[in-house]
């Protein structure tokens, strides 16, 4: 009971943090109890979320998912020696006797493993990671790898995961391609070059980097985020060529009627957005709030054991991460145009009905001034990453839980919009409920069209591409949990 | 004496703020004294600096200079009716009798004028500007324009300056070119398109937008900041065609020997940077610290009256602002390559001696990995904006003060570098001293070559272009102060 309560408190704290409404000082957590507490949720996740919010927008999916997946990965490898049958994904550290399989030992092992991982993932925040351990009375300088102790298991698990993942193809260290100096973590090394520039749409079928601004005079243009994600080593399958989306036929300008029709669909959706649709779009745009909260909701309402909580969190993150690999491979291959570029191209000097900006409702504007309700992401359009992540997450959940039942609904207070703060929604509303994971993934997919950042085909194919990856992720981890080393 | 003391305190507070080492809460100012205080320095400048640090890098010169110049402009127009002879630049609000020419009335007028201006320049920070007035007991809702009162003079002066400057060509409102929706303040409306992309240097003579990253996975590329600054209305001259720089001959790839030679000069300078040179480069890279501090130093050491302080601050900022207009016109015209693009182009796969990164000293690296010690700015190279601003500031100062004598020196504590924090300088040192303004402008110019962001020709011609604009600025404002309305 106390565990469920502390989870609830921490989920609320996490949400408050991610929505940016409460300063960190306001949610000083209660002292951590190693015997009953859940260190991933109470200690590690809040520290990671705070760092992520400093370094990357919450909708930068590749970076966010890399962090959440690798964190769950070290938790899993750290508790495997205390599980009746599980073996780690990157390590096989033996098995501890029954009397050592305590929540205390698991928490200690997970905290040391997290410490090792985070110093590799985010070395500039070394002081934060030290504080994460010292705040619960652990010694960050204890580098023991004695596999008869929780400290040693944690350190060893962390080291193995780091060794397995630091060079997995995503260029975390910034030295891929032989770079020696001025390393650039996560920089492209595949040689991706957009055919369009921010100023000119040379090929209306292809992706165009967009110009963005903070609104105060400085403008920047996009760079395709981690084109190399499609070449990154997946957890649950060997060959990403297994997973393919059909070519985005309607995004080819030579199929003009279809090209125009799918653009008009997005245009019409944006011109008639309701408050509920806006809040739905915003909910799924923030990966920490949507996928993160979905997992926490299940963990809380299904009253999971610590082991199951770790396994389920790793499973759903891994499914999305492996889905992202297949999706990014296709994004790089098809390099498809975003709705905003297509709509400006088609209707440049024509008047069209459109969202007029925060609080302005629907107006008639020149097509060249059109923009999507959500910020359009920094990667090609097809297929949709968000639809993929939701489908992989949903299918992995169905397999793990043995049921499609879900039940999540999230309140949206009046004025809580981040796009139209203080204005939308006009009265308190609810995002959801989603009674099933099927409802959830379908809402997720359509939210991207409502948000103006995807065509319908991209979200349909995003779902189709990644549902099977929910299966591969489940089957991969299930074998590991049952102790089958391949 | 108390005024000089409060200025000293506020300069230190301002420096602490801009260096980011002290939280705002740590320097709560003493209660403002309307009869002896200096509201521009004690109240308005700190508020503006805090906002600027939130919205723009301190080396985004066009935006920073627009704020500092327009702020000094409203202060000047607000005190003109209390001066024996001066008339405003954007207003002529009559003249108040001698007994009303008090420091209290001038402070009140300047605070209301600043409030009006800042609500136009930075409307999203409306709460900050309200707080600026209420913190000293003034009522922001008093919109009187009764020209027999300080409140009315301040409000009227602010309104006139806003009316004069909101549409001066810099696109502050974001609607130039007829834009109706999703306005984009300071966006280009001249149609500038770089010939190079971040990925390809098609023409090695021309400017290339650079890729930058926070280091955490998200990359962006540059957009030329305010190409339209060259079309903006100057204060002190009518036709910017009066001010021209010779074409940057050595930046033309067809003059290959000269092209290579000027690149090698920068390369050699970067390969042998001393701690003193690094700190010099950093000092002049931050416009608030360098130009801002230079003006405050003169105000403080010359024991200026409130009127002279306002006039001198407006003069030096206006000189730099008008210099920037001529410089940006030439930047847009010549669109010249930056050292980093030229060096990577010339030495792509060759080993060259170079700065290896924070704390790494000089190393041998592949030319394609080269980067400048300072971040290279988001605008074409030639001529140097910084050299221009320093020369205009220096010449305006010489004319106003009747002397080249300066005397500034700034301590640089051990480890105070922002590029190599904790490492450079190894022991405490001093930036300067500059005994004359000539020393100051020359140090400013060479600091840009040392910082790796400019060729020598660009700083030489930046000085030559803008020294005469120090004269036009002085002569323009001198006429206004003497009451000659043209």
Phi, psi angles (nearest 5°) of residue B196:
-100, 155
Closest approach of chain A CAs to the CA of B2, in angstroms?
Answer: 37
Which residue is closest to B191 within chain A, CA to CA? A199
A336-to-A211, A462, B55, B219 alpha-carbon distances in Å: 17, 14, 33, 20
Put simply, whether A358 touches B (Cβ < 8 Å) is no
Query: Residue B407: helix, strand or coil by DSSP?
Result: strand
As a whole number of angstroms, the distance between CA B269 and CA B452 comes to 8
Write phi, then psi, for A232 (nearest 5 degrees): -80, 150
For chain A, say whether B226 makes contact (Cβ under 8 Å): yes
Closest residue to B223, CB basis, from A60, A188, A220: A220
**Distance from chain centroid for Cα B260:** 31
- Give the model's pLDDT for residue A485: 73
Closest Cα of chain B to A404: distance in Å? 35
Interface contact A193-B216, CB threshold 8 A = no
Residue B27: per-residue pLDDT: 54
- Please give the structure tokens belonging to residue B13: 């507070």
- The whole-angstrom separation of Cα B346 and Cα B7 is 50
CA atoms within 13 A on the CB side of A472: 21
Cis before A319? omega within 30: no
Taking the Cβ of residue B62 and every Cβ of chain A, the question of whether any pair is shorter than 8 Å is answered with: yes
Q: Are A398 and A471 in contact (CB under 8 A)?
A: no
Interface test with B, best of A196, A217, A226, A228 (most B CBs within 10 A): A217
pLDDT value at residue A8: 34
- First and final CA of chain B: distance in angstroms? 38
Percent of chain B whose pLDDT exceeds 70: 93
Judged against a pLDDT cut of 70, whether residue B15 lies above it is answered with no
pLDDT for residue B28 = 61
**Torsion angle, alpha carbons of A83, A87, A93, A98, to 10:** 20
C-alpha dist (Å) from residue B213 to A177, A220, B223, B430: 18, 11, 14, 31
pTM above threshold 0.80 = yes
CA B115 to CA B111: how far, in whole Å? Answer: 6
Q: Given an 8 Å threshold on Cβ–Cβ distance, is A214 in contact with B55?
A: yes
A112 alpha-carbon distance from chain centroid: 24
User: Could you say which DSSP state residue B211 is in?
Assistant: E
Contacts of B215 in chain A (CB under 8 A): 55, 124, 184-185
Set of chain B residues whose Cβ sits within 8 Å of the Cβ of A344: none
Q: Is A33 helix (H, G, I), strand (E, B) or coil?
A: coil
C-alpha distances out from residue B20 to B13, B23, B416, B418, B436, Å: 11, 7, 11, 10, 29
- Could you write out the DSSP letters of every residue in A97-122? -GGG--HHHHHHHHHHHHHHHHHHH-
Q: How far is A223 from chain B (nearest CA, A)?
A: 5
Mean pLDDT of B57-73: 90
**Distance from B230 to chain A by nearest Cα, in Å?**
15
Query: What is the mean pLDDT of the segment spanning B25-30?
Result: 56
Q: How many CB atoms lie within 10 A of CB A442?
A: 18
**What is the Cα A154 distance to its own chain's centre?**
25
- Provide Rg for chain A, Cα atoms: 23
A4 with A303: CB under 8 angstroms?
Answer: yes
Q: What gap in Å lies between CA A433 and CA A388, rounded to an integer? A: 20
Partner residue facing A55 (CB), from B197, B214, B220: B214
Shortest alpha-carbon distance between residue B88 and chain A (Å): 28
User: What's the gap in Å between the CA of B305 and the closest CA on chain A?
Assistant: 34
User: Cα(first)–Cα(last) distance of chain A, in Å?
Assistant: 38
Residue A212: its chain B contacts at CB < 8 A?
220
Comparing C-alpha atoms, which of B39, B47, B134 is closest to residue B78? B39
List all residues 6 or more positions away from B1 whose beta carbon is below 8 Å from its beta carbon.
none
Cα–Cα distance, B376 to B353 (Å, whole number): 19
Q: Mapping DSSP to helix (H, G, I), strand (E, B) and coil, where does residue A191 land?
A: coil
Residue A322's pLDDT is 98
A215 at B interface, C-beta within 8 A: yes
A277 Cβ under 8 Å from any chain B Cβ:
no
Residue A7 phi/psi, 5-degree rounding, is -65, -45
A321 alpha carbon, distance to own chain's centre: 8
> Would you call the peptide bond into B433 cis, given omega within 30 degrees of 0 as the criterion?
yes
Query: Tokens in use for B66?
Result: 């627009």
How buried is B29 (Cβ within 10 angstroms: 0-12 exposed, 13-18 middle, 19+ buried)? Answer: middle
Are B215 and A185 within 8 A, CB to CB? yes
Considering only the beta carbons, identify the residue of A199, A214, A219 that sits closest to B187.
Answer: A219
- The continuous run of DSSP H or E covering A362 comes out as strand A362-366
* Cα distances (angstroms) measured from residue B357 to each of B30, B316, B354, B372, B470: 42, 35, 9, 10, 37
Residue among B65, B178, B181, B422 with most chain A CBs within 10 A, to mutate: B181
Q: Where are the domains of chain B?
A: 2-165, 229-481
pLDDT-derived band at B444 (thresholds 50, 70, 90) equals very high
* Complex confidence, ipTM: 0.89
What local confidence, expressed as pLDDT, does residue B9 receive?
Answer: 32
Write down how long chain A is. 486
Residue of B nearest to A369 (CA): B181
pLDDT at A3: 35
Measured over all CA atoms, what is the biggest interatomic distance in chain B, rounded to whole angstroms?
74
pLDDT computed for residue A214 by the predictor: 79
- The two beta strands, A219-222 and B219-222, are antiparallel
A349 touches chain B (CB under 8 A): no
Closest residue to B357, CB basis, from A181, A194, A216: A181
A219 contact residues in B (CB cutoff 8 A)? 184, 186-188, 223, 225
CB contacts of B211 in chain A (<8 Å) are: 223
- With 0-12 / 13-18 / 19 or more C-beta atoms within 10 angstroms meaning exposed / middle / buried, residue A402 is exposed
Residue of chain B whose alpha carbon sits nearest to that of A121: B216
Report CA-CA distances (Å) from A94 to A143, B46, B278, B284.
19, 61, 53, 59
Beta bridge partners of A206: A336
| Measured CA distances, A130 to A138, A140, B193, B461 (Å) | 9, 6, 48, 51
Residue B16: its pLDDT value, please? 36
For residues A133 and A153, give the distance between their C-alpha atoms in angstroms, rounded to a whole number: 16
Could you say which of A181, A217, A218 has the minimum Cβ distance to residue B369?
A181
Per the CB < 8 Å rule, is B186 touching A216? yes
Looking at residue A24, what is its pLDDT? 44
Distance separating alpha carbons of residues A123 and A100, to the nearest angstrom: 32
Contact A215 B124 (CB under 8 A): yes
Contact at CB, B181 and A356, closer than 8 angstroms: yes
3-state secondary structure at position B356 = coil
* Residue B466 near residue B392 (C-beta atoms within 8 A): yes
Question: Which residue in the set B55, B180, B216 is minimally distant from A369, CB to CB?
Answer: B180
Residue of B180, B207, B217, B222 for testing the chain A interface, max A β-carbons within 10 Å: B217
Q: Judge contact between A356 and A362, C-beta under 8 A.
A: yes
Q: Do B180 and A221 touch (CB under 8 A)?
A: no
Q: CB-based contact (8 Å) between B486 and chain A?
A: no
pLDDT of residue B485: 73
Flag whether pLDDT at B4 surpasses 50: no
CA dihedral A98, A100, A104, A109 (to 10 degrees): -110
Extract the residue ranges of chain A whose pLDDT is less than 50.
1-26
Asked whether the beta carbons of residue B216 and residue A179 sit closer than 8 angstroms, the reply is no
Per-residue CA distances from B346 to A11, A319, A394, B340, B370 (Å): 54, 45, 52, 10, 11
CB-based contact A378 B218, cutoff 8 Å: yes
Element (H, E) at A434: strand A429-436
Contact in structure between B360 and B278 (CB atoms under 8 Å): no
Chain A's closest residue to B199, CA to CA, is A193
- Reply yes or no on whether the pLDDT at B449 is more than 80: yes
The answer to whether residues B375 and B212 touch, using CB atoms and an 8 Å cutoff, is yes
B214, two tokens: 């926070």
- B217·A182 Cβ contact <8 A: no
pLDDT in tens, A195-219: 999 999 999 999 999 999 877 889 9
Residue of A nearest to B58 (CA): A218
* CB contact residues (below 8 A), chain A span 172-211, against chain B: 179-182, 184-188, 193-194, 197-200, 209, 211
A92: closest CA among A139, A153, A7, A169? A153
Angle, CA of A224, A229 and A233, to the nearest 5°? 170
Do residue A357 and residue B221 have CB atoms under 8 angstroms apart?
Answer: no
Query: According to the model, what pLDDT value does residue A54 have?
Result: 85
Burial track B53-88 (b if 16+ CB lie within 10 A, e otherwise): eebbbbbbbbbbbbbbbbbbbbbbbbbbbbbeebbb
Chain B partners of A184 at a C-beta cutoff of 8 Å? 213, 215, 219
In B, residues 129-168, which contact A (CB 8 Å cutoff)?
A: none
Calculate how close chain B gets to A370, using CA atoms only, in Å.
8
**Which numeric CATH code is attached to A229-481?**
1.10.606.20
From chain B, the residues in CB contact with A218 under 8 A are 56-57, 60, 63, 225, 378
The chain A residue lying nearest B55, using CA atoms, is A216
Contact yes or no for A369 and B187 at CB 8 A? no
The Cα B220–Cα A220 span in angstroms is: 6
Residue among B466, B477, B165 at smallest CA distance from B313:
B477
Give Rg (Cα) of chain B. Answer: 23
Q: At what angle do helices A437-450 and A275-285 cross, to 10 degrees?
A: 100
- Min CA distance, A446 vs chain B (Å)? 24
Determine whether the interchain pair A218/B181 forms a contact, defined as Cβ–Cβ distance below 8 Å.
Answer: no
Burial class (CB in 10 A: 0-12, 13-18, 19+), B468: middle
């Amino acid at each position: 009971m106390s565990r469920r309560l502390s989870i609830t408190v921490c989920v609320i704290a996490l949400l408050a943090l991610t929505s940016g409404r409460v300063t960190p000082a306001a949610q000083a957590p209660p002292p951590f109890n190693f015997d009953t507490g859940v260190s991933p949720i109470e200690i590690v996740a809040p520290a990671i979320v705070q760092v992520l919010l400093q370094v990357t927008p919450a909708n930068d999916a590749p970076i966010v998912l890399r962090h959440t997946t690798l964190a769950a990965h070290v938790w899993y490898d750290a508790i495997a020696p205390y599980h009746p049958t599980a073996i780690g994904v990157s390590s096989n550290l033996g098995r501890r006797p029954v009397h050592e399989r305590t929540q205390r030992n698991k928490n200690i092992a997970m905290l040391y493993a997290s410490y090792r991982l985070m110093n590799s993932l985010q070395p500039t925040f070394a002081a934060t990671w030290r504080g994460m351990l010292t705040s619960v009375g652990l010694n960050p300088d204890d580098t023991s790898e004695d596999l008869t102790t929780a400290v040693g298991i944690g350190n060893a698990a962390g080291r193995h995961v780091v060794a397995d993942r630091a060079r997995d193809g995503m260029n975390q260290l910034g030295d891929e391609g032989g770079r020696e100096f001025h390393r650039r973590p996560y920089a492209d090394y595949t040689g991706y070059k957009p055919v369009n520039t921010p100023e000119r749409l040379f090929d209306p079928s292809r992706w165009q980097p967009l110009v963005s601004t903070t609104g105060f005079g400085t403008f920047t243009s996009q760079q395709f985020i981690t084109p190399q994600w499609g070449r990154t080593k997946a957890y649950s399958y060997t060959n990403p060529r297994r997973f393919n989306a059909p070519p985005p036929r309607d995004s080819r300008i030579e199929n003009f009627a279809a090209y125009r029709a799918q653009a008009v669909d997005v245009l019409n959706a944006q011109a008639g957005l309701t408050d509920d649709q806006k809040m739905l779009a915003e909910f799924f745009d923030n990966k920490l709030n949507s996928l993160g909260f979905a997992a926490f909701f299940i963990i809380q309402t299904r009253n999971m054991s610590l082991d199951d909580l770790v396994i389920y969190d790793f499973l759903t993150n891994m499914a999305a991460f492996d889905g992202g690999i297949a999706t990014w491979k296709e994004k790089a291959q098809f390099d498809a145009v975003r709705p905003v570029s297509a709509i400006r191209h088609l209707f440049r000097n024509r008047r069209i009905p459109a969202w007029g900006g925060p609080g302005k409702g629907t107006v008639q504007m020149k097509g060249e001034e059109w923009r999507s309700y959500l910020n359009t992401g920094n990667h090609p359009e097809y297929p949709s990453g968000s639809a993929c992540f939701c489908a992989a997450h949903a299918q992995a959940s169905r397999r793990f839980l043995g049921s499609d039942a879900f039940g999540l609904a999230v309140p949206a207070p009046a004025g809580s919009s981040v796009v139209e703060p203080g204005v939308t929604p006009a009265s308190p509303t609810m995002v959801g409920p989603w009674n099933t994971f099927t409802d959830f993934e379908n809402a997720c997919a359509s939210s991207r069209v409502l948000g103006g950042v995807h065509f319908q085909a991209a979200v349909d194919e995003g779902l189709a591409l990644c549902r099977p990856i929910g299966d591969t992720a489940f089957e991969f981890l299930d074998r590991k949990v049952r102790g089958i080393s391949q």
